[in-house]
Amino acid sequence: MPNGTHAPAEVERPEEPVQRHTGGQTLQSRVFFRVFGLTVRGLKLLGRVTPRRRRASSLKRFTRGFYQVLSLADRRANMVFMNYGYAPLEGSPATVALDAGEERDRYCIQLYHRAASALDLRGRDVLEVGCGRGGGAAFVMKYLQPRSLTGVDFAGRAIAFCHRQHRQPGLSFRRGDAEKLPFANESFDVVLNVESSHCYPSMERFLAEVVRVLRPGGYLLFADIRAQGFREQLLEQLEQAGLIVIEEEQIAPNVLRALDLDSERKLALIESEAPPLLRASLRDFAAVKDTPIYERFRTGEWEYVRFVLQKNGRA
Ligand SMILES: C[S@@+](CC[C@H](N)C(=O)[O-])C[C@H]1O[C@@H](n2cnc3c(N)ncnc32)[C@H](O)[C@@H]1O
């Protein structure tokens, strides 16, 4: 899930290989450290005195631990999505008609629909990197009908949940790291990546892996948060990786609209399900209205971008 940021004055340009796409230490760490009574400043100080290589691997361990705990906490399987959602604004393309049981997750589903329906996926082999609890993969398989869809996430508990929860012909899940994908070269026609890349210590390594596992002419369907100013860096990384921009869209206003429309539901869920100690942090993490994360979207400090990218070479 999303990473936290600080006031612009505190934002440091990321040093390689540790990537801080949203400009500060992770939101996961803020939630944990608040709970354990440590301050964000203390955490930043720790970050400064830790060597870069160790920082990258601790960031990864920390992020994985965070999502493992989230999976553990959701015993009643209320959460099959973990993204901020998408809502159409006036004049946007029509939204998708859903089954009644899926309405609860409408906004999260719409984000997947916006990202994945940019291509006709029928007859294609799709890999989703950072599939989380698999709601998006299950939706794409059911509604957009690729030949196969493989969901990968490095949180083992999330993958175990996916195995139990989502069963459809052609849909499978596997544990794996975005920076070291467990697949042979040229195995997929399309890679889908929704609100996950901001967690990766090295965007470059992820993109190199995407290009490696894509067949010639294959596509990356990408949607994620970036702090203001980090979009330029992303464009450079995409170009360096050899990915051609076919479509680019700024969808932050749609994400903000989804946050507005979904705020009450998320608030009620947190109040009824989360332990009292965690509620304030989770409200922020879920970006319910008037929390600091919500404000970052409202003020434009955070952007949300969507891309259709193509690997060099003929299909
Ligand atoms: C905000 S959640 C989004 C999940 C899902 N895409 C969705 O929209 O519901 C981010 C996901 O990225 C996964 N993730 C973070 N770093 C990863 C990595 N290095 N390799 C694979 N998955 C990773 C997390 O475990 C988490 O499930």
- Predicted pLDDT of residue 21: 54
As a whole number of angstroms, the distance between CA 270 and CA 126 comes to: 33
3-state secondary structure 227-295: ECCHHHHHHHHHHHHCEEEEEEEECHHHHHHHHHHHHHHHHHHHHHHCCHHHHHHHHHHCCCCCCHHHH
Q: How far is CA 120 from CA 112, 146, 190, 221, 276, in A?
A: 14, 8, 10, 12, 45
The more confidently predicted of residues 225 and 9 is 225
SS3 160: helix
What value does the mean pLDDT take over residues 204-221?
98
SS3 42: helix
Task: For residue 61, name the pLDDT band (cuts at 50, 70, 90).
Answer: confident
Name 145's Cβ contacts closer than 8 Å, sequence gap at least 6: 121, 122
Distance 140 CA to ligand 1 centre (A): 17
Q: What is the DSSP letter of 113?
A: H
The ligand 1 atom nearest the CA atom of 135: 9
- pLDDT of 88 over the 60 cut: yes
Q: Whose CA is nearest to atom 26 of ligand 1?
A: 132
Is residue 177 within 6 Å of ligand 1 at its C-beta? yes
What value does the mean pLDDT take over residues 203-209?
97
Q: What are the pLDDT digits (tens) for 266-275?
A: 999 889 888 8
Extract the tokens encoding 193. 């990546």
- pLDDT of 314 over the 70 cut: no
As a whole number of angstroms, the distance between CA 27 and CA 46 comes to: 16
Average pLDDT across the chain, whole number: 84
Q: 18-32, 44-58, 98-112, 210-224 — which one is most confidently predicted on average?
A: 210-224
Q: How far is CA 156 from CA 162, 174, 290, 312, in A?
A: 10, 9, 33, 33
HSE toward the beta carbon, residue 172, CA cutoff 13 A? 9
Looking at residue 148, its amino acid is S
- pLDDT of 64 over the 90 cut: no
Q: What is the pTM of this model?
A: 0.86
Residue 127 phi/psi, 5° resolution?
-115, 125
- Predicted pLDDT of residue 27: 53
Distance 181 CA to ligand 1 centre (A): 13
Task: For residue 294, name the pLDDT band (cuts at 50, 70, 90).
Answer: very high
Range with the lowest mean pLDDT among 30-34, 36-40, 286-290? 36-40
Domains in the chain, start-ordered, CATH in brackets?
78-315 (3.40.50.150)
Please tell me the total number of residues recorded for the chain in this structure. 315
Which residues is 148 bridged to in the sheet? 125
Give residue 130's region: left, alpha or beta (phi > 0; psi -120 to 50).
left
Percent of the chain residues past pLDDT 70, beyond the cut: 79
In a mutational test of the pocket of ligand 1, which residue from 111, 128, 154, 285 has the highest number of ligand atoms less than 8 Å from its CB? 154
Distance 2 CA to ligand 1 centre (A): 9
- Predicted pLDDT of residue 62: 77
The more confidently predicted of residues 141 and 69 is 141
- pLDDT of 286 over the 80 cut: yes
The more confidently predicted of residues 185 and 3 is 185
As a whole number of angstroms, the distance between CA 292 and CA 159 comes to: 30
HSE toward the beta carbon, residue 148, CA cutoff 13 A? 9
Looking at residue 46, its amino acid is L
Q: How far is CA 271 from CA 263, 265, 267, 281, in A?
A: 12, 10, 6, 12
- Predicted pLDDT of residue 200: 95
- Predicted pLDDT of residue 150: 98
Is residue 66 within 6 Å of ligand 1 at its C-beta? no
Which residues is 125 bridged to in the sheet? 148
The more confidently predicted of residues 78 and 201 is 201
The ligand 1 atom nearest the CA atom of 194: 6
In a mutational test of the pocket of ligand 1, which residue from 58, 126, 196 has the highest number of ligand atoms less than 8 Å from its CB? 196
Task: For residue 52, name the pLDDT band (cuts at 50, 70, 90).
Answer: low
As a whole number of angstroms, the distance between CA 217 and CA 214 comes to: 8
Distance 216 CA to ligand 1 centre (A): 26
As a whole number of angstroms, the distance between CA 4 and CA 191 comes to: 26
- Predicted pLDDT of residue 58: 76
- pLDDT of 4 over the 50 cut: no
Which residues is 220 bridged to in the sheet? 191, 309
Q: Whose CA is nearest to atom 27 of ligand 1?
A: 132
The more confidently predicted of residues 294 and 44 is 294
- Predicted pLDDT of residue 258: 97
As a whole number of angstroms, the distance between CA 179 and CA 156 comes to: 16
Task: For residue 159, name the pLDDT band (cuts at 50, 70, 90).
Answer: very high
